[in-house]
């Protein structure tokens, strides 16, 4: 089977199956072999690995993964792509194709069946509109993960690794940095895709922490505080938390907690570090 990293082979397959790109799935297929090599290398895929690929498309990266990994499970939501994948991956007996929405897949079961319950590696070229729910879903469900290596919109990759006080800093930055160590491994211009997207992309690798870098008694409370403080960026943290639905803390309680931590009650949420959010959650939890 011809490798699909080559634009001509990609066009040929799409024409053979009369495939139409679906706007709703944010489909952009990679057509650059250098980038594919870089992803495999960055994800550190070896013959010991079981890889979960999200959104294989026509199987471009799946071919590379199958060559390098022991086992690949590719989850594709678009049923029009399933016959194409069955064709482009026909030569590989170590690939399982699942036609489902990744947000509804039991990843724990995949890790059990295909990898004896050991941590799997996730690799994906993610559609922009669903990047955050997918990444957060993977972390929050506590499925056994070693790393997540994903192609995302450049600004989303930037957002995942920045610190307090920058305009890109937000709930996603804090959530990712609580669960994993982020590292941008490649910048990918728009012309490496078909069809060409309007924005540049980046490959980011998230190495899962065995133990989070901060200790928090109530993870859910910490994330509720983080979300509330970024929902109203322009407000002080005290006002943001006071107005937040679902948080039972009045102004006095929040001010007292901040003072106990030596944090200025006039501070905005975007100036707090992950450590400070964890400390605040622990203080409020009592």
Quickly state the pLDDT bin for 107 (edges 50, 70, 90). very high
SS3 of residue 147 by DSSP:
strand
Shared domain check, 198 and 134 = yes
Span of 12-26, 175-189, 237-251 with lowest mean pLDDT: 12-26
Residue 14 has pLDDT above 90, yes or no: no
Residue 196 sits in a domain of what CATH number?
Answer: 3.40.50.150
Model-wide pTM > 0.85: yes
User: How would you classify the pairing of strands 193-194 and 120-125?
Assistant: unpaired
Show which of 174, 208, 242 is a domain's final residue. Answer: 208
Question: Rounded mean pLDDT of the chain?
Answer: 93
User: How would you classify the pairing of strands 201-208 and 180-188?
Assistant: antiparallel
Looking at the structure of the chain, the number of domains it has is: 2
Distance of CA 88 to the CA centre of its chain: 26
Query: Quick check: is 213 in a domain?
Result: no
- What integer pLDDT is reported at residue 7 of this predicted model? 85
Shared domain check, 188 and 238 = no
Show which of 208, 239, 273 is a domain's final residue. Answer: 208
Shared domain check, 249 and 161 = no
The boundaries of the domain holding residue 128 are: 7-208
Shared domain check, 151 and 51 = yes
**How is residue 35 written in tokens?**
């980038």
Residue 24 has pLDDT above 80, yes or no: no
Cα–Cα distance between 229 and 241 in angstroms, integer?
A: 6
Residue 232 sits in a domain of what CATH number?
Answer: 1.10.8.100
Shared domain check, 267 and 182 = no
Of all residues in the chain, the percent with pLDDT exceeding 70 is 99
Show which of 161, 183, 208 is a domain's final residue. Answer: 208
Residue 93 has pLDDT above 60, yes or no: yes
Mean of the pLDDT values across residues 238-259? 92
Cα–Cα distance between 114 and 73 in angstroms, integer?
A: 9
- What integer pLDDT is reported at residue 2 of this predicted model? 61
Q: How far is the CA of 105 from the CAs of 70, 136, 211, 258, in angstroms?
A: 21, 14, 25, 41
Shared domain check, 252 and 174 = no
Cα–Cα distance between 183 and 181 in angstroms, integer?
A: 7
Shared domain check, 165 and 74 = yes
- What integer pLDDT is reported at residue 4 of this predicted model? 78
Q: How far is the CA of 261 from the CAs of 66, 75, 255, 257, 285, in angstroms?
A: 51, 45, 10, 7, 14
Residue 45 has pLDDT above 70, yes or no: yes
Shared domain check, 66 and 21 = yes
- What integer pLDDT is reported at residue 152 of this predicted model? 94
Cα–Cα distance between 119 and 111 in angstroms, integer?
A: 7
Of all residues in the chain, the percent with pLDDT exceeding 90 is 78
Task: Name the more confident of 23 and 63.
Answer: 63
Shared domain check, 195 and 81 = yes
Residue 28 has pLDDT above 90, yes or no: no
- What integer pLDDT is reported at residue 1 of this predicted model? 54
Span of 20-29, 169-178, 210-219 with lowest mean pLDDT: 20-29
pLDDT tens digits for 118-149? 999 999 998 777 899 999 999 988 899 999 99
Mean of the pLDDT values across residues 93-116? 96
DSSP strand E in the chain: where?
29-30, 50-54, 71-76, 95-99, 120-125, 145-153, 180-188, 193-194, 201-208
Mean of the pLDDT values across residues 255-273? 95
């Amino acid at each position: 089977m011809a490798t699909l990293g080559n634009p001509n082979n990609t066009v040929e397959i799409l024409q053979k199956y009369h495939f139409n790109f679906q706007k709703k799935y944010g489909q952009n297929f990679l057509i650059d072999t250098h980038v594919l090599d870089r992803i495999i290398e960055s994800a550190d895929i070896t013959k010991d690995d079981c890889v979960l690929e999200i959104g294989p498309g026509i199987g471009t990266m799946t071919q590379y993964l199958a060559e390098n990994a022991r086992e690949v499970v590719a989850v594709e939501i678009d049923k029009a792509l399933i016959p194409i994948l069955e064709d482009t991956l026909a030569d590989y007996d170590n690939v399982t194709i699942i036609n489902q929405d990744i947000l509804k897949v039991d990843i724990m079961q995949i890790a059990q069946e295909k990898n004896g319950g050991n941590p799997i590696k996730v690799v994906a070229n993610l559609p922009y509109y669903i990047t955050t729910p997918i990444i957060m879903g993977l972390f929050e469900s506590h499925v056994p993960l070693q790393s997540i290596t994903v192609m995302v919109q450049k600004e989303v990759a930037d957002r995942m690794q920045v610190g307090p006080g920058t305009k890109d800093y937000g709930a996603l930055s804090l959530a990712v940095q609580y669960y994993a160590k982020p590292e941008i491994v490649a910048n990918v211009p728009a012309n490496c895709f078909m069809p060409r997207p309007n924005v540049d992309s980046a490959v980011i690798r998230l190495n899962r922490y065995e133990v989070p870098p901060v200790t928090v008694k109530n993870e859910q409370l910490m994330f509720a505080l983080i979300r509330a403080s970024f929902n109203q960026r322009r407000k002080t943290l005290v006002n943001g938390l006071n107005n937040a639905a679902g948080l039972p803390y009045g102004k006095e309680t929040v001010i007292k907690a901040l003072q106990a931590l030596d944090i200025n009650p006039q501070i905005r949420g975007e100036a707090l570090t992950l450590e400070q959010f964890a400390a605040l959650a622990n203080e409020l939890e009592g």
